[in-house]
Structure 1
Amino acid sequence: MKTISHGWHSAKRMTYSLVTGGVMMLGATQVAANTQYVDPFIGTGGDGHTFPGAVVPFGMVQLSPDTDSVFRGIDPQPEIYKRCAGYHYDDTTIVGFSHTHFSGTGHSDLGDLLMMPITGEVKLEPGKADNPDAGYRSRFSHDNETAKPGYYQVWLQDYKVNAELTATTRVGMHKYTFKEHDKGSVLMDLTHSIYNFKNKVIWSDVRVIDDRTILAYRATNGWANNRQMYFAIEFSKPFSDIELINLDNIRYRCNGCLTEGNGKKPSTIVNYKIPEAAGKAIKVVADFEGLKGEPLMVKVGISAVSKSNALENLKTEIPHWNFDKVVKQADETWHKSLDKFEVEGSLSEKRQFFTSVYHALQAPSVYQDVNGQYRGVDGEIHQAKDHTHYTLFSLWDTYRAL
């Protein structure tokens, strides 16, 4: 992880001619709406390895759909490689929405804390794309999917749920509208990862604070070894019931969980009474009532330092439940960055240029909390003073997906 200082936010506006390649500085009085030229779906097909979800410039949260769950050693390497960013345009199902993603890299990782709104029977595994009914994934169509800087929307066909996403620097916000069902659930899968493999999750835990708030943690190996991430999850409605499920079958790791069966080793351990669980295969199912036609919203703050910092990030950056306000703020943040440029060229050329700038401004990402604390490469907690700490995994190959 590197500490990087940049003067981007103080730069003057520039004009760029796509015909001559010339760049000229402009005054700050001109106004443009260059976000209209950004197409977040550019690069999501082939081997572009970009994602269409919600992110702000240099954001620590990249909240985006994952369209498959592939495993090293099980799935073919080309299938793993094409989904480095979690999403691939050729896919027809979505397994859920996770909060961290790479963009444009030649290797995959992240995909922290997958969430999926569900109606009916809750399945605990994503299943396979060729048989989506066997898992919790849902079919979707690009005809009912939209994306713009700081916002993403998709219709989940199997659950009749309209899912919308937006983000601030350290917080992702979900909005789920259940069109036909009064009861529904939200699955939180701490085992999901992009570039998954056996024993990728070193450890995870979850604790229910009240009927709206959950704190969680997980440490993973992968491209980054022993990478630690903490989560604060807050719902706009109280859940009517909650299950903490430990699939690794080790009783003590679930801190008193109830078991199924007649004293035999259970296939799952489900905690209905104790509001916490820990292990390598933790999943949470929160049930809700009174949902039909009324959105259920979820805020997720993340931190590499602690659960309390994740909660502080959440409370500081989104202290309200106004989803549209967060979308507007994200849009304004992108305006501020992209409107530093004025481009002369065709609509197609402007779309290519501003989408490239949009992708370029997703990294390096902020890697410190609102209180200035961050976890260094030494694993210790440090305090940023007079600088912002950023991190970047893969500088050398991001040029491919600009």
Structure 2
Amino acid sequence: MCKITTKLLVACTFLGMMSCSSVNKVNADFTPTDYVNPFIGASTSVGAAGVYHGLGKTFPGATTPYGMVQVSPNTITGGDNGSGYSDEHKTIEGFAFTQMSGVGWFGDLGNFLVMPTTGELHKIAGKEDNSIQGYRSAYDKATEFAKAGYYSVELTDYNIKVESSATPHCGILRFTFPSNEQSRIQVDLARRVGGTSTSQYIKVIDDYTIQGWMKCTPDGGGWGNGEGKADYTVYFYAQFNKPLNNYGFWSADIPDDWVRKRDEVVSVPYLTRVSESPVIRDKKELEGKHLGFFTEFPTKEGDDVELKVGISFVDMEGAANNFKQEIASKSFEQVRQEANALWNRELSRIRISGGTEDEKIVFYTSLYHTMIDPRIYTDVDGRYVGGDKKVHESDGKFIKRTIFSGWDVFRSQFPLQTIINPRLVSDELNSLITMADQSGREYYERWEFLNSYSGCMLGNPALSVLADAYLKGIRTYDVEKAYQYAVNTSHKFGNDMLGYSPEPLSISHTLEYAYTDWCVAQLAKALGKEDDAKSFYEKGQAYHNVFDKEKEWFRPRNADGTWVAWSEDARIKEWYGCIEANAYQQGWFVPHDVPGMVGLMGGRDKVIADLTNFFNKTPSNMLWNEYFNHANEPVHFVPFLFNQLDVPWYTQKWTRYTCEKAYANKVEGIVGNEDVGQMSAWYILAASGIHPSCPGNTRMEITSPVFSKIEFRLDPNYYYGKTFTVIAHNNSANNIYIQKALLNGKEYNKCYLDFTDIVSGGTLELYMGDQPNMNWGV
């Protein structure tokens, strides 16, 4: 019988983490959290990136693995904000309890913004340049500290130390105040990254407790500045450890015809209107368009004041129950220690040896970043808001999850999870299936955010995740319904009408749809649906229809069949038939039919020469560029093409080069947007020496590991192997080329594995050298 402590029961039940048996096998002396630096990627800076997309856009605050709550500092509300935090900003406007991680579009969440202050009450954050005064504060960068599950900083304007930690559904803030007769904690209920909540409610329950909600609609900006159709309500139950003897509200009267989005809510007229709102002290509850709350008290030097908050997306009862179940009786230190323990258990799914200290930090921080989303959307009692906006109760078979950045994460993030966390993959598929079912739409969303069909990016990435999971044995969902919704999705968004997708974005659309139609073909074949398999396989050949044989490359077409004008620089012109890419980058995306692609492009030798040119022209800093632009997803499979062209030493060379140049132990350590785990997952797999080249089949490419030993712990509920280990003998920064290989002690001369080789357990040994062995793997 499995023995498990009460505090770990919540982790196993609601995080969908490890099986009980595997939890107990974590070695106490192995603490991967020592190698997590949450500041890696925590910048939106366009200047540092040299391009409009900025850098990693991660957040440094406290969270738990796949937790609903993230208690993090926020430095910006408007602008291109992503996570609400960017390292180059010199002030903090508050500490919010929900954040997005690494998104490239205009961000959302950042709800329940808390700020400790002293002296005069300000109702707005103000401007960083101090042109408009507010409650924001400068902070001492030298005091800013973050670990997995913990964050702290000193606010210099108020001389207040702030610390945060979290449980899966709750967060905690601890403020260490100076001596002051007018100390304060204030909460901006309207605030939201990239806009505002459009209505709020708050009620004082007793001398220590408040509860309420914040409704966020597209009218308030947020996800995609409203274009992402985010429509959700955040419920809270918050308890102070200091009595509410002197509290109040502010309520701004916002005219009905005012726009309340990303730029408007930080405009001078809007800030002026909020700053002039009256202070209300004679009420216990209030509803309005722009509310704030504060509680004031005298403090002595070193006084600690704590605020604990339960969050729910279901209702106020859910927030209160989450609070009572997870955090009500716990001290700050207990919450911090338990968060750290949850991270150590989760990060222990992979264990590494070798590499430098910085490389270990990059590895475990990358793994950490892959474990933020898709996050829990279910309350502790199993209730969640479904695709019909109604409350549903889980049947216990899966945890409802949210934030599926499909166009990004089908490439590396979900293939990684098929190895180390198949339960998570199952949860996500069940979440997408139930959303399609409950909403009545009966097709899959490509970028899901809190049940919204946001329409962000393109393609049908859920079909890739579904086919990849099914072929790898992850089948804990309604397979027939899942398949039907896949077919529906392909018919709704695809190349059916013309055999290709016309402008705009003709190349990207056509190639992405062709790939996912091939994925449906693989699923149909596995299910014995031969006619469907044949039909979808043929649809997977649609990439031929946007290849111009005269120009010898992919070229966008109009709806009437004509080609879009070509120019000398057509291949490297961004947005020429492509999204966030050029035709040179997107054109390699035919992962499901490399021989067919090579035939169109003029044969193996010509393709190898063109690929070599593609990589050789890439700048050494790996920032956004016209060639191998690792800062964005379309090229993420490209290094592995060399394996399939029988020159695997080039795959080894360029993946090691990318691991070295595109990732680093610093704030600017991710060359592009983190994209909800995708950039980090690519590193985890490539640095481990294995990576897929085409999710939807079971081939895993072998490449050059960064580390001398990588051990994957396998889930016994899905796979009969216990561990899969990659050992790189004589590995170093110079010895990047594979000389020979052994699989389970036997000579192995293929540059790829089958997925069953991994999940059956065993050992892949690679012998490394400083020169290519052109006889291995071909």
**Structures share a fold, TM > 0.5?**
yes
| Counterpart code for 2:216 | T
Map residues 193-232 of structure 1 onto 2, 5 A cutoff.
Answer: 193-196=192-195, 200-221=196-217, 222-223=222-223, 224-232=229-237
Question: Hey, what's the Cα distance between the residues in 2 that align with 1:12 and 1:342?
Answer: 18
Q: Which residue of structure 2 aligns with residue 242 of structure 1?
A: 247
Q: Which residue of structure 2 aligns with residue 259 of structure 1?
A: none
Of residues 293, 296, 317, the one that matches 1:284 is: 293
Map residues 311-390 of structure 1 onto 2, 5 A cutoff.
Answer: 311-344=320-353, 345-386=355-396, 387-390=398-401
Contact 1:160 1:180 in 2 (8 A): no
Contact 1:93 1:132 in 2 (8 A): no
Map residues 165-180 of structure 1 onto 2, 5 A cutoff.
Answer: 165-180=164-179
Question: Hey, what's the Cα distance between the residues in 2 that align with 1:191 and 1:201?
Answer: 5
Question: Hey, what's the Cα distance between the residues in 1 that align with 2:245 and 2:386?
Answer: 40
Structure 1 residues 6, 121: closer, same or farther in 2, change over 3 A? closer
Question: Hey, what's the Cα distance between the residues in 2 that align with 1:119 and 1:348?
Answer: 40
Quote the offset at 1:309 in angstroms.
1.2
Greater CA radius of gyration, 1 or 2?
2
Question: Hey, what's the Cα distance between the residues in 2 that align with 1:36 and 1:214?
Answer: 36
Query: C-alpha offsets along residues 225-257 of structure 1, whole Å, 9 cap, x if unaligned?
Result: 32111011100110221111111168xxxxxxx
Question: Hey, what's the Cα distance between the residues in 1 that align with 2:16 and 2:180?
Answer: 50
SS in structure 2 opposite 1:309? helix
Quote the offset at 1:190 in angstroms.
1.1
| Counterpart code for 2:164 | L
SS in structure 2 opposite 1:219? strand
Question: Hey, what's the Cα distance between the residues in 1 that align with 2:332 and 2:311?
Answer: 18
- Alignment of 1:58 with 2:69, yes or no, is no
Q: Which residue of structure 1 aligns with residue 403 of structure 2?
A: 392
SS in structure 1 opposite 2:364? helix
Question: Hey, what's the Cα distance between the residues in 2 that align with 1:307 and 1:291?
Answer: 34
My pick for the range that moved more, 130-139 or 143-152, is: 130-139
SS in structure 1 opposite 2:180? coil
Contact 1:297 1:321 in 2 (8 A): no
Structure 1 residues 393, 291: closer, same or farther in 2, change over 3 A? farther
Contact 2:16 2:399 in 1 (8 A): no
Q: Which residue of structure 2 aligns with residue 106 of structure 1?
A: 104
Contact 1:104 1:401 in 2 (8 A): no
Question: Hey, what's the Cα distance between the residues in 2 that align with 1:268 and 1:111?
Answer: 22
Contact 2:202 2:286 in 1 (8 A): yes
Q: Which residue of structure 2 aligns with residue 295 of structure 1?
A: 304
Contact 1:236 1:321 in 2 (8 A): no
Contact 1:175 1:298 in 2 (8 A): yes
Question: Hey, what's the Cα distance between the residues in 1 that align with 2:297 and 2:330?
Answer: 17
Q: Which residue of structure 2 aligns with residue 255 of structure 1?
A: none
Quote the offset at 1:202 in angstroms.
2.6
Q: Which residue of structure 2 aligns with residue 130 of structure 1?
A: 129
- Alignment of 1:32 with 2:30, yes or no, is yes
SS in structure 2 opposite 1:292? coil
Contact 2:180 2:298 in 1 (8 A): no
SS in structure 1 opposite 2:154? strand
Q: Which residue of structure 2 aligns with residue 23 of structure 1?
A: none
- Alignment of 1:309 with 2:318, yes or no, is yes
Structure 1 residues 34, 244: closer, same or farther in 2, change over 3 A? same
Question: Hey, what's the Cα distance between the residues in 2 that align with 1:6 and 1:138?
Answer: 35
Quote the offset at 1:179 in angstroms.
2.6
My pick for the range that moved more, 287-296 or 49-58, is: 287-296
The TM-score, its normalising length taken from structure 1, stands at 0.84
Q: Which residue of structure 2 aligns with residue 17 of structure 1?
A: none
Question: Hey, what's the Cα distance between the residues in 2 that align with 1:117 and 1:6?
Answer: 31
Contact 1:212 1:238 in 2 (8 A): yes
The TM-score, its normalising length taken from structure 2, stands at 0.44
Contact 2:26 2:348 in 1 (8 A): no
Q: Which runs of 5+ in 1 are unaligned?
A: 14-26, 71-79, 251-265
Quote the offset at 1:95 in angstroms.
0.1
Higher helix share: 2
Higher strand share: 1
Structure 1 residues 293, 203: closer, same or farther in 2, change over 3 A? same
Q: Which residue of structure 1 aligns with residue 557 of structure 2?
A: none
Contact 2:244 2:295 in 1 (8 A): yes
Contact 1:67 1:86 in 2 (8 A): yes
Contact 2:309 2:323 in 1 (8 A): yes
Structure 1 residues 132, 185: closer, same or farther in 2, change over 3 A? farther
Q: Which residue of structure 1 aligns with residue 280 of structure 2?
A: 271
Question: Hey, what's the Cα distance between the residues in 1 that align with 2:211 and 2:395?
Answer: 28
Query: C-alpha offsets along residues 265-324 of structure 1, whole Å, 9 cap, x if unaligned?
Result: x94243211211111100111112345322000001011111111011111101225111
Q: Which residue of structure 2 aligns with residue 77 of structure 1?
A: none
Q: How many residues align?
A: 357
Structure 1 residues 29, 226: closer, same or farther in 2, change over 3 A? closer
1 or 2 for the larger relative contact order (CA 8 Å, sep ≥6)? 1
Contact 1:103 1:401 in 2 (8 A): no
Q: Which runs of 5+ in 2 are unaligned?
A: 1-13, 46-54, 224-228, 256-274, 409-674, 682-778
Structure 1 residues 86, 249: closer, same or farther in 2, change over 3 A? closer
Question: Hey, what's the Cα distance between the residues in 2 that align with 1:117 and 1:132?
Answer: 21
Query: C-alpha offsets along residues 131-185 of structure 1, whole Å, 9 cap, x if unaligned?
Result: 1771100001220110000000000000110000000000000000003325411
Q: Which residue of structure 2 aligns with residue 20 of structure 1?
A: none
Quote the offset at 1:389 in angstroms.
1.3
